[in-house]
A and B are shown apart, each in its own frame.
Chain A
Amino acid sequence: MDVAQLKRQLIAFTELLYREGFLDEQFNQLQQLQDENNPNFVAEVVTLFFEDAERILNELANNLDQQSVDFKKVDAHVHQLKGSSSSIGAQRIQRVCIIFRTVCNEKNVEGCLKCLQQLKHEYALMKSKLETLFNLEQQILAAGGPPSI
């Protein structure tokens, strides 16, 4: 595949991600902060997000597995995930977090478990899509073109 084709693919794929709500304007802001002096900025931030999210999802599973659920802890974790997903533009994840906090406020364990499931699902989707995105960018770079959209 040549560079032009790859670029078209990248543009189309990115547009899809925005349309389906996986990404919002904040992701674009991140890309604007990337330049020749900081060529990996977006990848670095996203990687941090993945690490953070995975850690939090594990903690949440733990918290909700307890005999007596500490809803304050659950809320604190969800709040953190909400913040970081908002910071990278992971809109769908952020939205689940908002619902999660409401449910947590009501001290509804079942509801929380459902939200956690949904979070895991959304996270897996997001991760896979972003990996595809970065992959495309790498291919373009390798084929000799600049990766920016």
Chain B
Amino acid sequence: MEVKSQFHVLAVDDSLIDRKLIERLLKTSSYQVTTVDSGSKALEFLGFREEDEQSSSDYPSISPSSQRVVEVNLIITDYCMPGMTGYDLLKKIKESSSLRNIPVVIMSSENVPSRVSRCLEEGAEEFFLKPVKLSDMSRLRPHMKRTKLIPQKPEPEKDEKQEEELEPENKHQIQQQSNSNYHPQTQSNTSNNKRKAAVEEAISPDITTRRPRYSGGVTTAV
């Protein structure tokens, strides 16, 4: 009996064929999938709202409409799309206090070194060359695993980075995180913290020092 995966991927591509393909690839790899055909639809699905982002501070104000009900563990997006490109989408996600810890993977039919490095620098975890293959799917899991926080006890261990604690990719619903009465603790040795650190490291500006990996054994001088 196939076990329902705990990982949910949001796939973004304007091509119907490619959406069908990526959906099958992801489902075959036991991930749950949602597909959308544009960056703006992706942001909508993620519950992204510009005005909420702008008002965020240490204790982002919560409005119900910005709360994402569905947990998303990874976003995989095509680069070349009309309107909002995959790069634009990536930027918006990484600039968003509520979304930036979601790992993003870029897909492109063109292997352009400057494009690749731009995406990695902006925080993309991987850059896949299209057509995406089954073997590429195994490269997604490590990034998704990193986003899984400890399943909730009612009062999660706090650390200083309160905004990240609000990550709705934590499947435990927003109501826990929606109050702004956090009591920052200075030091917390929970694995929550370690995982936070791992995630932070993953999206740190040092990302360019990480070895970029491409599918199909293509090596590109970055």
Do A and B originate from a single complex? yes
Task: Tell me the complex Cα distance, A84–B131, Å.
Answer: 9
Q: Does A9 contact B (CB under 8 A)?
A: no
Question: Chain B binding site: helix, strand, loop or mixed by DSSP?
Answer: helix
A55 to chain B, nearest CB (A): 11
Q: Quick one: which of B18, B80, B134 contacts A84, CB cutoff 8 A?
A: B18
Q: Per-position contact with B for A115-140: 1 when CB-CB < 8 Å, else 0?
A: 00000000000000000000000000
Q: Quick one: which of B20, B28, B80, B133 contacts A79, CB cutoff 8 A?
A: B80
Can you give 6 A-B contacts (C-beta < 8 A)? A38-B24, A45-B17, A45-B20, A48-B20, A86-B130, A87-B18
Q: A33-B24, A33-B25, A82-B109 are in contact. Are A26 and B17 (CB under 8 A)?
A: no
Q: Are A26 and B134 in contact (CB under 8 A)?
A: no
B contact residues, range: 10 to 19
Closest chain B residue to A80 by CB distance? Answer: B15
Task: Tell me the complex Cα distance, A38–B24, Å.
Answer: 9
Question: Chain A binding site: helix, strand, loop or mixed by DSSP?
Answer: helix
Q: Quick one: which of B15, B80, B134 contacts A87, CB cutoff 8 A?
A: B15
Task: Tell me the complex Cα distance, A52–B134, Å.
Answer: 24
Q: Does A108 contact B (CB under 8 A)?
A: no
Closest chain A residue to B25 by CB distance? Answer: A33
Q: A38-B24, A49-B17, A52-B16 are in contact. Are A86 and B131 (CB under 8 A)?
A: yes
Q: Are B20 and A86 in contact (CB under 8 A)?
A: no
A45 to chain B, nearest CB (A): 6
Task: Tell me the complex Cα distance, A44–B16, Å.
Answer: 11
